[in-house]
Amino acid sequence: MVKKMILFILLSVGIFAENAYERNCIPCHTNLSTSLQGMFKNYLLVYSGEETVKAALRHYMRYPSNHISVMSDLFLDTYGIKEKLYISDEELKEAIDIYWETYKVFGKLN
């Protein structure tokens, strides 16, 4: 029983040590041919600003569809569309905010 409790605590600490982006985004994208940075560039090219990119990402994570994807037809034919993401609104917002801060170019250029 003690071993199970210790294992549970260690797993819990490991799960909560990562942020929402690391938990919910990175694992699904490790085996794709396009990086998360490449996808970010596609979103930025289509939606252009922080508010619209974040809104588009939130909508796509809740209602994934070929019609609203920013990925190429070849990519979608190869990998399909992602499955609907079942996480809380707060966790989704946190993941998207971290994603934006990781890859944004605004304010990083001198």
pLDDT confidence tier of residue 16, bands split at 50, 70 and 90:
low
Res 8: pLDDT: 58
Q: 3-state DSSP call for residue 51?
A: helix
Cα distance between residue 20 and residue 6, in whole Å: 24
Beta carbons of 20 and 85 less than 8 angstroms apart: no
Cα distance between residue 84 and residue 44, in whole Å: 21
Give, in order, the Cα–Cα distances in Å from 29 to each of 35, 49, 95, 99: 7, 23, 14, 13
Q: Is the pLDDT of residue 23 over 70?
A: yes
Range with lowest mean pLDDT among 15-24, 52-61, 68-77, 92-101: 15-24
Cα distance between residue 60 and residue 42, in whole Å: 14
Report field, pTM of the whole predicted structure over 0.75: yes
Q: Tell me the per-residue pLDDT of 45-86, one tens digit each, with 9 for 90 and over.
A: 999 999 999 999 999 999 999 999 999 999 999 999 988 989
